[in-house]
Amino acid sequence: MASADQREKDELLSMLLPVLSARGVARHWARSAVPYSDLERECRDVASRADLAPEFARYLRDNPVVSLSVHAFLAHISVAANVKPEDVPAEQRVLMPAGTRLARWLPTFLVIDGPLGRFLRSSDSPLNVMLRAEHATYPTIAQARDAFNSELFRKVRNGVGHWAIAWSHEDEQLVCFDSESGETTVAISLLEGEALHVTSLAVIECLDRYVFDLVGV
């Protein structure tokens, strides 16, 4: 039976994944009734496979920055999620809605773009090698990997990562720009931004809890 925390995460992803599906991202995953539970189950299954454990352990030992970056991210996000308005000087509270989102979104996109992203996507990663051969067996993890390769994610990640963004308060959108040309690359609703963040966080949590445990990292 699913725990209360698991049910809450299933409900949250069930609400947010269709938002991404409408932009052409994670369409298969968005059809799941229990998207977080599916991700958790697949990560647990990967971690239990004796034929994969040595390759995963070798890769993670040879690339310790993968798990180190995730642990640093999780430490940051646990604090960023608990900032209270009363802790912010009164004259700065007008910036709080945008600042709170950036404090959560920026490190999420950066950690996916860094070592963890290479673990998901690089040609020498045992996870990516496995997904290329067995994507039908692990459709949720494969969809997560593909979401991080999507044009939408890349444009938002690049804009936020280079601080090349602007908040459009009239229509509640985040507008991203090319950091060199200054041209607009993409505009997303705040709900779409939150969907990208929450989806990324779910993947990070499940990989950390199950797959990284293969080598006790």
Residue 86 lies in a domain: yes
> What is the model's pTM?
0.86
Q: Which residues of the chain carry a pLDDT beneath 50?
A: 91-95, 217
Cα atoms in the Cβ-side hemisphere of radius 13 Å centred on 22: 11
Q: Does the residue 165 lie in any domain?
A: no
Where on the phi/psi map is residue 184: left (φ > 0), alpha (ψ -120 to 50), or beta? Answer: beta
In this prediction, residue 150 carries a pLDDT of 93
Residue 170 domain-assigned (yes or no): no
Alpha carbon distances (Å) from 115 to 16, 62, 83, 207: 25, 12, 27, 13
> What is the model's pLDDT at position 167?
84
Residues 138 and 203: their CA atoms lie apart, in Å, by: 13
Residues 6+ apart with CB under 8 A from 158: 164, 176, 178, 179, 185
Longest dimension (CA), the chain: 58
Q: Tell me how many domains the chain contains.
A: 1
Left, alpha or beta for 177 (phi > 0: left; psi -120 to 50: alpha)? beta
- Domain for residue 103, yes or no? yes
Report CA 103 to chain centroid distance, whole Å. Answer: 14
pLDDT confidence of residue 93: 45
Per-residue pLDDT at 112: 87
Residue 95 lies in a domain: yes
198 within some domain: yes
* Rounded CA Rg of the chain: 18
Residue 79 belongs to some domain of the structure: yes
Question: Which residues constitute the domain of residue 34?
Answer: 4-149+192-215
Predicted pLDDT of residue 104 = 79
For 136, list phi and psi in degrees, rounded to 5. Answer: -70, -25
* pLDDT value of residue 141: 95
Asked whether residue 182 is assigned to any structural domain, the reply reads: no
CB-based contacts of 129, cutoff 8 Å, min separation 6: 55, 123
CA distance 175 to 37: 32
Q: Residue 209 carries which DSSP code?
A: I
pLDDT, position 108:
87
Q: Which amino acid is at 70?
A: V
